[in-house]
């Protein structure tokens, strides 16, 4: 394949608390592609809101190559952040992102980076990949945006990726599109990356207390869990779920315990509590609002079940997080 005249230019916008694994999963395959071809096919720059070092999730600080206001000449700009990351000057940052969008570059978000990208208004009318552990918080903050369980989602000029492993897969796709399948395969083999996810591959989601993922479960149990997921705010009776999957309630109980180690009722409650915890950790909703969003009439029984499940009261967990975010300069949620 003939060499392209100009390297593909990628910018990675780093925000406080960004997932470091996503950054290395993006840069390393591109570096390998350059080394394998002996040409600078890809260039990358680290971008910060300003020129100051940015702290990652692993407490490692990175020095940006440029400030967001100076980000020009890029083909892609990917936002790396935690769900609670905030710009120091949102008006200026969002304005610059909108200017970059008008210039025709591809914008995207890795992991929690979808949150600040959505807050900028630049995800309106686009679908996006949202990591399963952020789904409840994202849907609460952005009910008008279609959140997908796909690991990678490319919707026109918006590229969103759920987590670090999927970021690596996206980079392999970009390498394949630019350099061909042979080059992509060699890069994958350099890193002993055993397979490349299809574009429409769903995220792997763990099954509570089983040590496996949901795609390993028997069909009726997967369907029961899907029905549970559709009734987080308005709890459904287990007998109704059993009827929906064509099993007696007793048989569903037996099959469910065999597949997951838990009764359907306990599993369902834990699902609702995990959604509640996402919003405790990553949203600005009050504990009462969170309780109601997962089917509790008040916060008191939810807080009791939450403490039983996670070993900490939701108020205490939020206060602890508020303290940590205060140290990092992030905006705390309402309590």
pLDDT tens-digit series, residues 1-40 = 445 469 999 999 999 999 999 999 999 999 999 999 999 9
Place of tokens 């509570």: 208
Q: Which residue stretches of the chain have pLDDT < 50?
A: 1-2, 4, 328-335
Tally the domains of the chain: 2
Q: Are residues 268 and 312 in the same domain?
A: yes
For position 209, what pLDDT does the model report?
55
Q: Which two tokens stand for residue 268?
A: 């369902």
Q: Are residues 30 and 96 in the same domain?
A: yes
For position 1, what pLDDT does the model report?
46
For position 321, what pLDDT does the model report?
79
SS3 state of residue 151: coil
Q: Judge whether 195 lies within some domain.
A: no
Q: Are residues 141 and 244 in the same domain?
A: no
Q: Are residues 38 and 173 in the same domain?
A: yes
Distance between CA atoms of 203 and 192, rounded to whole angstroms? 20
Q: Are residues 130 and 181 in the same domain?
A: yes
Domain boundary among 134, 157, 189: 189
Q: Judge whether 104 lies within some domain.
A: yes
Q: Are residues 178 and 220 in the same domain?
A: no
Beta carbons within 8 Å of 66's beta carbon, 6+ residues apart:
11, 45, 46, 47, 48, 51
For position 210, what pLDDT does the model report?
59
Q: Are residues 182 and 70 in the same domain?
A: yes
Quick one: angle between helices 219-230 and 264-282, nearest 10?
50
For position 175, what pLDDT does the model report?
97
Provide the β-strand partners of residue 11: 45, 77
For position 212, what pLDDT does the model report?
74
pLDDT above 70 coverage of the chain, percent: 93
Range of the domain at 218: 212-321
Q: Judge whether 317 lies within some domain.
A: yes
Q: Judge whether 49 lies within some domain.
A: yes
DSSP per-residue codes, 224-288: HHHHHHHTSSS---HHHHHHHTT--HHHHHHHHHHHHSS-HHHHHHHHHHHHHHHHHHH----HH
Q: Are residues 168 and 303 in the same domain?
A: no
Going by the DSSP 8-state scheme, the letter that residue 215 receives in this structure is G
Going by the DSSP 8-state scheme, the letter that residue 171 receives in this structure is H
Do 63 and 46 meet the contact criterion of CB atoms below 8 Å apart?
yes
For position 205, what pLDDT does the model report?
87
């Amino acid at each position: 394949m003939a060499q392209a005249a100009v390297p593909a230019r990628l910018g990675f916008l780093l925000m406080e608390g960004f997932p470091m694994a996503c950054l290395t999963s993006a840069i390393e395959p591109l570096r390998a592609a350059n080394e394998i071809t002996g040409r600078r096919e890809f260039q990358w720059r680290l971008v910060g809101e300003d020129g100051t070092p940015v702290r990652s999730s692993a407490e490692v600080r990175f020095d940006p190559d440029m400030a967001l206001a100076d980000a020009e000449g890029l083909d892609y700009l990917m936002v790396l952040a935690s769900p609670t990351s905030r710009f120091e000057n949102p008006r200026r940052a969002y304005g610059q992102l909108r200017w970059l969008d008008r210039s025709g570059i591809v914008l995207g978000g890795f992991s929690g980076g979808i949150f600040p990208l959505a807050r900028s208004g630049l995800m309106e009318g686009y679908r996006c990949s949202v990591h399963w552990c952020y789904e409840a918080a994202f849907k609460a903050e952005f009910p008008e945006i279609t959140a997908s369980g796909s690991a990678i989602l490319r919707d026109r000029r918006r590229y969103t990726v759920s987590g670090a492993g999927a970021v690596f897969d996206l980079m392999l796709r970009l390498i394949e599109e630019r350099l061909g399948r042979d080059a992509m395969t060699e890069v994958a083999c350099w890193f002993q990356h055993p397979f490349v996810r299809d574009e429409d591959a769903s995220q792997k989601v763990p099954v509570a207390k089983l040590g496996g993922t949901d795609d390993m479960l028997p069909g009726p149990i997967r369907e029961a869990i899907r029905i549970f997921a559709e009734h987080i705010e308005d709890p459904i009776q287990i007998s109704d779920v059993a009827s929906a999957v064509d099993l007696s309630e007793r048989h569903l109980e037996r099959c469910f315990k065999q597949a997951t180690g838990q009764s359907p009722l306990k599993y369902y409650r834990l699902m609702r509590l995990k959604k509640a915890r996402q919003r405790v950790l990553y949203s600005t909703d009050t504990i009462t609002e969170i309780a109601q969003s997962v089917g509790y009439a008040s916060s008191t029984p939810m807080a009791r079940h939450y403490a039983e499940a996670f070993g900490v009261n939701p108020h205490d967990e939020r206060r602890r997080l508020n303290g940590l975010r205060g140290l990092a300069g992030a905006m705390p949620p309402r309590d």
